[in-house]
Structure 1
Amino acid sequence: MRPGVGFTGGILDRADPLRGDPARLAEAFAHPQARGLLLEGLAPVIEGSRLATSPLPQDAQVEDYALLGMDATGPVFVSILKKELPHGAGLTPGVWDLQRTLEPEELAHYGGARSLVDWHARHAYCANCGNSTVAVRAGWSRKCGNCASEHFPRVDPVVIMLAEHEGKVLVGRQARFQPRQYSALAGFLEPGETIEEAVSRELWEEAGVRTTSVRYVMSQPWPFPSSLMMACIAPVESPELTLDTTELEDAMWVDRDAVRAGLAREEGAPFLAPMAVAIAHHLLRAWLEE
């Protein structure tokens, strides 16, 4: 069975009505089957093909935990009392292999927990007045005790796209990539942009190609630290490239045979596609199967 897009497919009921109801939240926290998801820093603790959990400590305080949601067993929490964490933008060691280790829904739950824990660690102070904030709403918000401003976990929108021209798509590589690895081009949305406008701008800025249209394909939460990847395919006017070498080390047009070989990581393939945990892998496959 082909793996799905990584970090998608979570099955927890996020239990939003509990977040603003202190009595019901306390009841969930005291539930005999309530458990905490275990993290080592921002890395998952894995038992077999599942995330490790443990009963909540007897002296645990509800304000020190975020409610990830409910499943058939009971409530699932994660501690937000994390200090000296690695920077959340850095990839978790072994991330490319997590999809082969964890059940899909477990990987999705880990991604959400990782982003949430990291956000709390980075937002101890109010962006409005600079005073300390405290976790509220079951860990899904922080509130300033001075000016009462409320802050919510951020998600950064990112477009990731394949430029397409006459049966070929454009793949590029950055210097940090593994040898021979190429991927779809990507970039953050800017204020005031639509997804389509961001795709067009990024392709022009990074590769010097002009889009004629943009079509949305799929999305993926990417918890490094907290992005939403929105994958698109965009036909372009011309294959002539002008690369921004501060962004791309190289780029090339590849046909379907090359994409097929790259996805399979065949010996002699003209490039290696990203692993299946990344949405770029599935975007290439979607284009190949059209």
Structure 2
Amino acid sequence: MKHAETVTFGGSNLDRAAEMRGVAEAIARAKADPSARAILMWRGKPLIHRTRPAALMRLPMDHPACADANADTAIFLGREDGSPRFALDLSEWEPDHLDPSKLGGFLDPTEQRHPSCKEDEVFAELRRVMTWLSPRDAELAATTRAVFSWHDTHGFCAKCGAASTMTQAGWQRTCPACGAHHFPRTDPVVIMLITRGNSVLMGRSPGWPAGMYSLLAGFVEPGETLEAAVRREVFEEAGVKVGAVEYLSSQPWPFPASLMFGCRGSALTEDITIDPNEIEDAIWVTREKMLSIFAGEHATILPARKGAIAHFLLENWLADTLD
């Protein structure tokens, strides 16, 4: 797929400068560099300038908002045009008049502003604003969110259970008790454009907003190829057998930390038998009907969300640009 990396969170050629992560002196110099900037995250929400197109904020390391983060847990993201970039987590900061019941929704509409930031500089849900960002901003935000999410859930050694510490400038956790090293986790997921003739297979999960359908997807199991995972997941969820499978494109998906492998496959059978433990419904949608859905003209089915790889794959299928 010639334009595979144009998917949201696709490659922006960020220099991650991995060779610096284990060199404490180099990281200290980078933090003190006048051109260094911090990407701020609050409970999974990046700090953005919310005008359209939005911009991911890059604050000086001595900005007052950075004082509410623990500097010892800064993650070194790499170099941008030669200048160091770090990520800081402000999750311990408590905004005034915060209503926790409004947080964490599918597309959380709430925004939080730190008192030292300007009016249009707010923390916003990444799912909601991901298509507003440039490729570089999206990559930085996705990386920051995914790595902090991993630290939040991996504070203890998986080998002996002792509390671990952040090392390698945020890209590793080390157990002081047994010496084990742990690295940020990324879960491989296949998401598949399954076609039969002029139709594509779509499904929906329980709890999704009304009318929302997407491509089928599932986690890759240990010892399994991407092709085998596609065939297994489609048969498990919809009872449809798949023949030829081809890889198309990938997308980092930091909710919390997956790598989506977009594939296409040719269905060998048409009858659908869903597993209600996996999905709520599955349907075949013709190309003509999908065009109507994408145009927002269908009465009951919504188009796949912009920014998600499902939308990207379907859009290219409709335009005959998958190859």
TM-score (structure 1 length as normaliser): 0.90
Which whole-Å CA distance do the structure 1 matches of 2:170 and 2:24 have between them? Answer: 12
Which whole-Å CA distance do the structure 1 matches of 2:131 and 2:177 have between them? Answer: 47
Partner of 1:33: 35
Deviations 1:212-245, CA, capped at 9 Å, x for gaps: 1111111100000000000111111111111111
Q: Decide which moves more: 64-73 or 151-160.
A: 64-73
CA 1:112/1:244 → structure 2, altered by over 3 Å: closer, same or farther? same
Partner of 1:147: 178
Q: Is 2:311 the counterpart of 1:281?
A: yes
**1:32 Cα deviation after fit:** 1.3
**1:280 Cα deviation after fit:** 0.3
CA 1:206/1:124 → structure 2, altered by over 3 Å: closer, same or farther? same
Partner of 1:247: 278
TM-score (structure 2 length as normaliser): 0.81
Which whole-Å CA distance do the structure 2 matches of 1:168 and 1:183 have between them? Answer: 14
The count of corresponding residues between Structure 1 and Structure 2 is 285
Q: Is 2:60 the counterpart of 1:55?
A: yes
Q: What residue identity is the alignment partner of 1:134?
A: T
SS of residue matched to 1:183: coil
Deviations 1:124-176, CA, capped at 9 Å, x for gaps: 11000111111111110010111110000000000011221122111011222
Partner of 1:216: 247
Q: Residues 173 and 251 of structure 1 are in contact (CA less than 8 Å); yes or no, is this contact kept in structure 2?
A: yes
Deviations 1:180-199, CA, capped at 9 Å, x for gaps: 22110001011111100100
Q: Residues 70 and 88 of structure 2 are in contact (CA less than 8 Å); yes or no, is this contact kept in structure 1?
A: no
Unpaired segments ≥5 residues, structure 2? 95-99, 109-124
Deviations 1:40-80, CA, capped at 9 Å, x for gaps: 22111111421123222498876421101111262111125
Partner of 1:76: 85
Q: Residues 96 and 275 of structure 1 are in contact (CA less than 8 Å); yes or no, is this contact kept in structure 2?
A: no
Q: Residues 192 and 216 of structure 2 are in contact (CA less than 8 Å); yes or no, is this contact kept in structure 1?
A: yes
SS of residue matched to 2:243: coil
Q: % of aligned pairs identical?
A: 40
SS of residue matched to 2:8: coil
**1:90 Cα deviation after fit:** 7.2
Unpaired segments ≥5 residues, structure 1? none
**1:34 Cα deviation after fit:** 1.4
Partner of 2:97: none
